[in-house]
């Protein structure tokens, strides 16, 4: 199964990794590695995360106070957000409409 990050989710990831790296050398890389580990799990078991609604799920990272928010189709795990637990809940909602349309287009082969 393929995966793709919403551009703002990718920004979430890089921003958090840079912040962790500024705090402790190597911590940003460990954060990135943990996100990639979770994405790998979700690619193999897309129903693994807890449901947020009919289309979205989230999976809490093991070592960091973040969740990966995603939508899954038969061919794609689309990461909507890498969300810190203390941020306003649902701050990423504006991405969902755009993400659902893009994930559907990708799964139909309209976008590569």
Domain boundaries, the chain: 2-107
Q: Which fold has domain 2-107?
A: YaeB-like fold (3.30.2310)
Q: pLDDT tens, 44-85?
A: 999 999 998 888 999 999 999 999 999 998 899 999 999 988
- Decide if 111 contacts 105 (C-beta within 8 A): yes
Q: What pTM was computed for the model?
A: 0.82
CB of 21 closer than 8 Å to CB of 28 = yes
């Amino acid at each position: 199964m393929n995966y793709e990050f919403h551009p703002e989710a990718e920004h979430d990831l890089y921003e958090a990794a840079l912040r962790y790296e500024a705090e402790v050398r190597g911590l940003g890389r460990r954060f990135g590695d943990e996100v990639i580990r979770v994405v790998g799990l979700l690619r193999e078991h897309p129903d693994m995360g807890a449901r947020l609604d009919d289309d979205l799920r989230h999976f809490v990272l093991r070592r960091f106070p973040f969740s990966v928010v995603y939508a899954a189709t038969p061919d794609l795990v689309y990461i909507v957000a890498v969300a810190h637990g203390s941020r306003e809940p649902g701050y990423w909602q504006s991405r969902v409409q755009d993400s659902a349309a893009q994930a559907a287009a990708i799964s139909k082969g309209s976008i590569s």
